[in-house]
Amino acid sequence: MSTIAKVKSLAREYAPGIVEIRRHIHANPELSYKEFETAKYVADQLRQIGLEPKEGIAETGIIALIEGRNPGKKVIALRGDMDALPIQEANDVSYKSQNSGVMHACGHDVHTASLLGVARILNEIKDEFEGTVKLIFQPGEEKNPGGASLMIKEGVLENPSPASIFGQHVMPFIPTGKVGFREGMYMASADEIYMTIKGKGGHAALPEKVIDPVLITSHIIIALQQIVSRNANPKLPTVLSFGKVIANGATNVIPDEVKVEGTFRALDEAWRADAHAKMKKMAESIAEGMGGICEFEISKGYPFLTNDPKTTGATRLAAEEYLGVENVMDLDLWMGAEDFAYYSHEIPACFYRLGTGNEAKDTCHGVHTPNFNIDEDALEIGIGLMSWIALEELRSPGESLE
């Protein structure tokens, strides 16, 4: 049997068990950096197939090595994230979240279960490939500073050092059976903006006696949009949105201060830093010019995510071979953020999308919503495809896997 046929056959054989694992993780979600039970469960699963997980990296992170023949020849890494979101699940399914107010609404249950499936497949055929696969089960994708950055600090990309890293993420807007790739820039950096605009409150009928922070805030919000329209490179998207403005006065009361929160997203690190400085200066000067003060703070989130073109091109070819050209799609730029970006700034990386949408099964709701769910048929594809991608990446150019 050819290796690709063997991988497909093992994926089919292991899929039902991986669905059970996914359901267990789904029913027992844990928030970012609190993945204690999930991590124990994952480590147990790894031990059950004879691997030796190293636990406690960045507290709840785990790594495990699958060594093929000649393990030092080449090392690659596969990453799955384990954390859930503070959302109350609205799905009425047998494996519904048992943890009130916490839900796997971004599919990280799927990524973790899928990586365990890949572990089973690759461990089963480790005599048939050369090199080492490093499995990374990561905490805290959903919350700053990002579990990826913490695991990198704790040396997850050393001893042994992977030459490249791969991650997959569910995508409800892509039908089950298909996957998506994008070379180069794929996802945005995301920073949180917090402004407090201070003036002097008073009776709304006596504007000459107040320094109106509401009016100052209005000017600042509109002026800051010129960072996007007049300063940003129009060929690289930039997003600035404010979703929270609290001016707690009344029809006839001007408040002392206004609180504003927003998000800034970009695809270029130099521009990102420049924009931070420009926004701060603009907001502070407008407030000052109008007699008030603006306290401007930025909480930096993840950097932009870039898919190494060579690695991603090769991975896409592997996917076309595994699923057929017709089932491999191009992805658009996505202004969401993802902490896999940290790996992509360290070593060649490929982050791709696994289609999980199926209208008939009602699995086309967006991630981070209470109705999000997946078509579990995607798991067989998820585990088989990632295994095949790993095998192809470990193979030397020109070497046959037959």
Asked if 354 is part of the footprint of Ni ion (rule: CB under 5 A), the reply reads no
The single residue of 338, 376, 392, 393 carrying the catalytic annotation is 376
Strand partners for 89 = none
Question: Least CB distance from residue 372 to Ni ion, whole Å?
Answer: 10
**227 or 337: CB nearest Ni ion:** 337
**67 or 376: CB nearest Ni ion:** 376
**106 or 116: CB nearest Ni ion:** 106
Respond yes or no: is residue 302 known to be catalytic.
yes
Asked if 106 is part of the footprint of Ni ion (rule: CB under 5 A), the reply reads yes
| Candidate segments 104-112, 117-125, 208-216, 279-287, binder of Ni ion by CB under 5 A | 104-112
Question: Least CB distance from residue 313 to Ni ion, whole Å?
Answer: 24
| Candidate segments 61-69, 99-107, 261-269, 301-309, binder of Ni ion by CB under 5 A | 99-107
Residue 118 corresponds to which amino acid? V
Residues that contact Ni ion, how many (by CB under 5 A)? 1
Distance CA 92, CA 95 (A): 8
The single residue of 302, 342, 343, 352 carrying the catalytic annotation is 302
Question: Least CB distance from residue 112 to Ni ion, whole Å?
Answer: 11
Question: Least CB distance from residue 118 to Ni ion, whole Å?
Answer: 18
Residues 6+ apart with CB under 8 A from 322: 4, 7, 8, 384, 385, 388, 389
Question: Least CB distance from residue 100 to Ni ion, whole Å?
Answer: 21
Q: How many CA atoms lie within 13 A of 172 on its CB side?
A: 18
The length of the chain in residues reads: 402
| CB 130 within 8 Å of CB 55 | no
| Candidate segments 43-51, 65-73, 98-106, 158-166, binder of Ni ion by CB under 5 A | 98-106
| Candidate segments 102-110, 147-155, 232-240, 318-326, binder of Ni ion by CB under 5 A | 102-110
**106 or 136: CB nearest Ni ion:** 106
Distance CA 306, CA 182 (A): 9
Respond yes or no: is residue 376 known to be catalytic.
yes
Active site residues: 302, 376
| Residues binding Ni ion (CB under 5 A) | 106
